[in-house]
Amino acid sequence: MMNKKQLGYFGENLAANFLLENNYQILHRNFRCFLGEIDIISKKENLLIFVEVKTRMSTVFGMAKEAVAWQKQRKLSKLAEFYLQNYHGNCKLLQPRFDVIEVYLLKDNEKNYHIVHLEGAF
């Protein structure tokens, strides 16, 4: 049984692999600054995508995406703005988008999972 931190890291790995398999380029994982953290920053075509990953073992307490409430959305928006102002000036030419990737581990089996990619989630 994984603890919360291990579960999150495992889900982020699955999400990153999912993005790579779907022709996204990963620019950063766990980008941190004084404002907080963005799980994944990726690029596809003319888009710069800021990805929040939520991993769950069940939906007993709701869907994973429900954990990305307006407070979290506002925080991610500020983080994205900081990133655009301070890193990779050429990324300013890309259209930003915020995605949520839900990772559901099924039956406590690390090889049995389901991913939901919510493009343009907010």
- pTM to 2 decimals? 0.89
Task: Write down the pLDDT at residue 110.
Answer: 67
β-strand pairing of 95-105 with 113-118? antiparallel
pLDDT tens-digit readout, 99-115: 999 999 876 666 789 99
pLDDT for res 92:
66
Q: Which amino acid type is present at position 73? A: Q
> What domains sit in the chain, N to C, each tagged with a CATH number?
4-118 (3.40.1350.10)
Lowest mean pLDDT among 38-42, 47-51, 57-61, 71-75: 57-61
Please tell me the distance from the alpha carbon of residue 60 to that of residue 79, in angstroms, as a whole number. 30
Judge whether 56 and 116 are in contact, CB under 8 Å.
no
C-alpha span between 64 and 115 (Å, rounded): 11
| Average pLDDT over every residue of 20-47 | 96
